């Protein structure tokens, strides 16, 4: 779950020595590369041939790391050869899990040790706490590895920016884990439904939400707890903060970053634009053991070629999970409600909109379920439909299916790009724009003010 490299003066000398070595190695490799490949085509600059089995290191074996590990096991042509986590309990879990699946892996507490000893690695998968993303990713890139790093890129703008810079300097691939960008359901929704078919017409608004039920903080088996000295060595104050780092400002960005980043990225990606302003509200109203706000609502303004569109986002962690999680785009001809969970996904067509029959024939969408009758809303006989209420719409179905684990397509895209087959779907420079939008939303909520974006915000 967390990371691997000691911080502070104690290890500064070792770190500088390591960086010198790896920087030299990275420079050599970059010079030997046929060209810059970040975010672009994938020439196998890292010495990866199209049919090579890719050797991977998995850095961070917390909840997200384990999900990625399971997804990787379903992908042919790759193998995890090393794992790294500061917590022995997590390392043991990883080694045992992988052994059960036929892989003997070497385990490391410190990613610098791992990079120094593992000479056959092609790539690193980074799923540490956010504040370790930038140091670990930059070190891995400089050591000549391609990197798949979970979002958020960092808990600071400077950290995220440094990752883009290192990606460009080393010429290595850096994919950020906004996995919806490789999900065929989202790709078809964006490229076919919205762009090719223009089923929604002009999009004037969007909204997204992630409501998560109240939950207890994570605990740990008492006998597995790390010592204070060990935790401090890796930047953590205590075991509670280590296990619940997402809620503390020193380590992560809170719910807007943790849950919201995925969905706010969809605003940018579907609109193919960055917002001009964001205003927000929210607060730490419920949990006494957290630092970060537990609820937030923000409104972005996008100036699109066809006009202004506003996007509302809310993340609630103190409600019931009612309504689930989705991203919804509303146009003059219809509404698309997207979610990673198909049961929350649907399309609604306005009665006066152009026919969607041709898109049913193309299998972009499936025939609608019948629109609810007006009587259905009046089951009790007392409710009266407001004269201004638009009639209920038929709900169409998005028939595209994902037959894989939810992160698998994004990992496959990364591995394919390493082999020279296609481009990254979410290179770091592209992800940086989305993450800047999240950072500014947090700023807007914390300061309860309107924040304006400038072109410089998105430049690296």
Partner 1 sequence: MSEPTNNSTDWSSSLAFLTLRAWLGVRSLVTGIEKFSGTRTVQQPLLDAAGNPDSSGAVVEVQQKFYSLSAYQAIPESMRDKFSQEPFMPAFLTTPFYAVLGWVLIVLGITVLLGVCTRVSLFAMGLLYVGLTVGLILIKQDAGIAWLAIHVVMIAYALTLEKHNRFAITRS
Q: How far is the CB of 362 from partner 1 (least distance, A)?
A: 7
**H-type alpha helices, 143-293:** 157-170, 184-188, 228-233, 239-243, 254-258, 260-271
**Residue 363 sits in the site that holds partner 1 (CB under 8 A):** yes
How many whole angstroms separate alpha carbon 55 and alpha carbon 51? 12
Binding segment for partner 1 among 77-85, 95-103, 185-193, 323-331 (CB under 8 A)?
A: 185-193
What lies within 8 Å, CB to CB, of 285 at 6+ separation is 294, 295, 318
Which residues are paired to 319 by β-bridges? 213
Residues forming a β-bridge with 394:
none
**Least distance to partner 1, CB of residue 340, Å:** 15
Counted residue by residue, the chain has a size of: 460
Q: Which two tokens stand for residue 42?
A: 């994938």
Q: Which is nearer to partner 1, 187 or 406 (CB)?
A: 187
Minimum distance, C-beta of residue 24 to partner 1, in the bound complex (Å): 40
Q: Closest CB to partner 1 among 101 and 341?
A: 341
Beta-carbon contacts of residue 9 (< 8 Å; ≥ 6 apart):
none
Q: Looking only at residues 66 through 105 of this chain, which bind partner 1 when binding is defined by CB under 8 A?
A: none
By beta-carbon proximity to partner 1, the closer residue of 191 and 377 is 191
Radius of gyration of the chain (CA): 23
Size of the site for partner 1 (CB under 8 A): 15
Kindly tell me which of 186 and 245 has the beta carbon lying closer to partner 1. Answer: 186
CB atoms within 10 A of CB 273: 15
Task: Specify the residue, 5 or 400, whose C-beta has the smaller distance to partner 1.
Answer: 400
- Residue 155 vs 425, nearer CB to partner 1: 425
CA atoms within 13 A on the CB side of 78: 26
Strands (DSSP E) contained in 265-324 are 277-283, 295-304, 307-319
Nearest to 231 by CA among 218, 245, 221: 245
The Cα–Cα gap between 358 and 161 comes to 44
Strands 106-108 and 123-126: unpaired
Regarding 187 and contact with partner 1 (CB under 8 A), the answer is: yes
Q: Is there binding between residue 400 and partner 1 (CB under 8 A)?
A: yes
Q: Verify binding: residue 401, partner 1, rule CB under 8 A.
A: yes
CB of 365 to partner 1, least distance (A): 10
184 contacts partner 1 (rule: CB under 8 A): yes
Among the listed ranges 61-69, 116-124, 292-300, 397-405, the one in contact with partner 1 (CB under 8 A) is 397-405
Nearest distance in Å: CB 146, partner 1: 21
Output the smallest distance, CB 375 to partner 1, in A.
Answer: 16
Of positions 192, 240, 249, 421, contacts partner 1 by CB under 8 A: 192
Interface stretch with partner 1, choices 269-277, 278-286, 398-406, 440-448 (CB under 8 A): 398-406
Q: Does 403 bind partner 1 (CB under 8 A)?
A: yes
- In whole angstroms, what is the distance from residue 306 CA to residue 367 CA? 29
Give the residue with the Cβ less far from partner 1, 107 or 402: 402
Q: Contact between 368 and partner 1 (CB under 8 A)?
A: no
Sheet holding 146-149, edge to edge: 106-108, 78-84, 54-59, 123-126, 146-149, 174-176
Interface residue list for partner 1 (CB under 8 A): 184-185, 187-188, 191-192, 362-364, 366, 399-403
């Amino acid at each position: 779950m967390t990371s691997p490299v000691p911080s502070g003066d104690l290890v500064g000398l070792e770190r500088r020595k390591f960086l010198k070595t790896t920087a030299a190695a990275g420079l050599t490799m970059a010079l030997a590369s046929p060209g810059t490949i970040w975010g672009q085509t994938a020439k196998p600059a890292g010495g990866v041939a199209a049919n090579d089995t890719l050797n991977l290191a998995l850095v961070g074996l917390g909840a997200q790391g384990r999900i990625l590990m399971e997804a990787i096991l379903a992908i042919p042509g790759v193998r995890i050869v090393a794992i790294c986590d500061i917590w022995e309990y997590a390392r043991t879990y990883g080694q045992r899990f992988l052994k059960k699946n036929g892989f003997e892996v070497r385990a490391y507490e410190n990613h610098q040790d791992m990079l120094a000893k593992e000479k056959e690695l092609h790539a690193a998968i980074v799923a540490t706490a956010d504040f370790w993303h930038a140091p670990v990713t930059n070190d891995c890139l400089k050591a000549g590895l391609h990197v798949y790093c979970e979002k958020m890129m960092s808990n600071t703008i400077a950290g995220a920016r440094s990752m883009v810079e290192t990606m460009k300097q080393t010429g290595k691939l850096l994919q950020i884990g906004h996995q919806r960008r490789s999900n065929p359901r989202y790709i078809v929704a964006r490229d076919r439904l919205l762009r090719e078919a223009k089923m929604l017409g002009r999009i004037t608004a969007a909204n997204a939400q992630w409501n998560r039920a109240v939950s207890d903080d994570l605990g740990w088996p008492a006998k597995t707890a790390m010592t204070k000295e060990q935790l401090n060595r890796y930047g953590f104050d205590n075991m509670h903060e280590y296990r619940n780092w997402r809620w503390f400002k020193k380590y992560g960005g809170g719910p807007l970053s943790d849950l919201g980043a995925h969905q706010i990225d969809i605003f940018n990606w579907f609109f193919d634009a960055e917002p001009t302003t964001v205003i927000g509200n929210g607060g730490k109203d419920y949990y006494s053991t957290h630092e970060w706000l537990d609820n937030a609502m923000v409104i972005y303004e996008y100036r699109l070629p066809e006009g202004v569109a506003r996007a509302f986002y809310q993340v609630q962690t103190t409600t019931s999970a009612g309504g689930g999680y989705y991203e919804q785009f509303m146009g003059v001809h219809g509404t698309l409600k997207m979610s990673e969970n198909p049961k929350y996904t649907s399309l609604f067509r306005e009665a006066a909109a152009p026919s969607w029959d041709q898109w049913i024939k193309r299998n972009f969408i499936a025939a609608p379920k019948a629109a609810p009758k007006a009587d259905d809303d009046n089951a009790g006989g007392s409710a009266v439909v407001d004269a201004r209420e638009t009639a209920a719409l038929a709900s169409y179905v998005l028939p595209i299916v994902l037959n894989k684990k939810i992160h698998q397509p994004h990992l496959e895209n990364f591995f394919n790009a390493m082999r020279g087959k296609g481009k990254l779907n979410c290179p770091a420079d592209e992800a940086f724009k989305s993450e800047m939008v999240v950072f500014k939303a947090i700023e807007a909520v914390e300061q309860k003010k309107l924040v304006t974006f400038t072109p410089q915000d998105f430049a690296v």
